């Protein structure tokens, strides 16, 4: 076993690609308190935060992460990933990786999103991410960003709109999901002609113009495109 008990596994299960990493607790500087580190008053309750990235993009996966952070952990960069610059997100990701007790991240691809719809695909990703964390680290309570969740294995949970800028564990999951999603978009070979390295699959003019010119790829969510591009017949 590695001395830091850390590893990363990449595997494929149907349309889902999973990432897992486990690290021993390494406490960070707690002088800066920006978010709440715990939802329950009883700090012996182990909490896991859940968040996603890419839910609104026209292409690529919806990426869901679950993360357990140490009690009383805080850092000014560990907050809603949407509030961070690219450089800050990269630094925040390193901080989360150095301090997370356990995390798991999944990509649910466009095919499954089209088959199920984005909400069901996201909820499916949440189940897989939580299951991945539970393989190595038990938890008692789940904090989910947003207002949609159907529960997991009878565990107590709470949904929190804007939770990624309220609780550290959700913020950490937000950062992991965003970094992993952006890496997927940058590395996807088919995405180069659509500019995914910069637009991350979202509906920018550059992206829409490329769809009109080249047509959609296998990683595009065709139902999403049809809502945005009025002349759908030109694309399909």
Lowest mean pLDDT among 11-15, 78-82, 162-166, 219-223: 11-15
Asked if residue 40 has pLDDT above 50, the reply is yes
Domain ranges of the chain: 8-187, 190-234
C-beta atoms surrounding 27 within 10 Å: 11
Q: Which of 207, 187, 189, 188 is nearest to 199 (CA)?
A: 207
Q: Is the pLDDT of residue 3 over 60?
A: no
Confidence label for 32 from pLDDT (cuts 50, 70 and 90): very low
- Banded pLDDT at 228 (limits 50, 70, 90): low
DSSP output for the chain: --TT---EEEEEETTEEEEEEE--------S---SBS-SSS-TTS-EEEEEEE-TT-SBS-EEEEEEE--TT---TT-S-GGGS-HHHHHHHHHHHHHH-SEEEEEEE-HHHHHHH-HHHHHHHHHHHHHHHHHTT---SEEEEESS----STT-EEEEETTGGGTBHHHHHHHHHHHHHHHHHHHH-GGGGGGTHHHHTTS--HHHHHHHHHH---TTB-HHHHHHH-S-GGGT-
CATH number for the domain whose boundaries are 8-187: 3.30.420.10
Q: For residue 224, name the pLDDT band (cuts at 50, 70, 90).
A: confident
Across the range 152-167, mean pLDDT stands at 96
- pLDDT value for 229: 58
**Would you say residue 129 has pLDDT above 70?**
yes
Identify whether the C-beta of residue 21 lies closer than 8 Å to the C-beta of residue 97.
yes
pLDDT class for 13, splitting at 50, 70, 90? very low
- Average pLDDT of 79-91? 93
Joined tokens for residue 119? 């909400």
d(CA 169, CA 154): 20
Lowest mean pLDDT among 11-20, 61-70, 161-170: 11-20
**Residue 61 confidence (pLDDT):** 97
pLDDT tens, residue by residue, 48-66:
999 999 999 999 999 999 9
Q: What is the pTM of this model?
A: 0.83
Residue 132 pLDDT greater than 50, yes or no: yes
Rounded CA-CA distance 102/70 in Å is: 10
């Amino acid at each position: 076993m590695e001395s830091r008990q850390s590893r990363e596994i990449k595997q494929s299960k149907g349309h889902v690609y999973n990432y897992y990493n486990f690290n021993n607790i390494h406490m960070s500087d707690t002088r800066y308190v920006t978010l709440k580190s715990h939802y329950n008053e009883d700090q012996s309750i182990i909490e896991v935060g859940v968040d996603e990235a890419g839910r609104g993009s026209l292409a690529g996966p919806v990426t869901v992460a679950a993360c357990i952070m140490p009690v009383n952990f805080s850092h000014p960069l560990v907050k809603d990933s949407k509030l961070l610059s690219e450089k800050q997100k990269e630094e925040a990701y390193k901080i989360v990786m150095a301090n997370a007790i356990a995390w798991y991240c999944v990509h649910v691809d466009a095919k499954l999103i089209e088959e199920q719809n984005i909400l069901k695909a996201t909820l499916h990703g949440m189940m897989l991410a939580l299951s991945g964390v539970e393989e190595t680290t038990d938890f008692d309570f789940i904090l989910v960003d947003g207002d949609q969740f159907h529960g997991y294995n009878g565990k107590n949970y709470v949904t929190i709109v804007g939770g990624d800028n309220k609780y550290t564990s959700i913020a950490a999951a937000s950062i992991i999901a965003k970094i992993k999603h952006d890496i997927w978009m940058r590395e996807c070979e088919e995405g180069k002609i659509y500019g995914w390295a910069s637009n991350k699959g979202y509906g920018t003019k550059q992206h829409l113009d490329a769809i009109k010119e080249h047509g959609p790829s296998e990683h595009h969510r065709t139902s999403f495109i049809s809502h945005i591009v009025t002349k759908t017949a030109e694309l399909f």
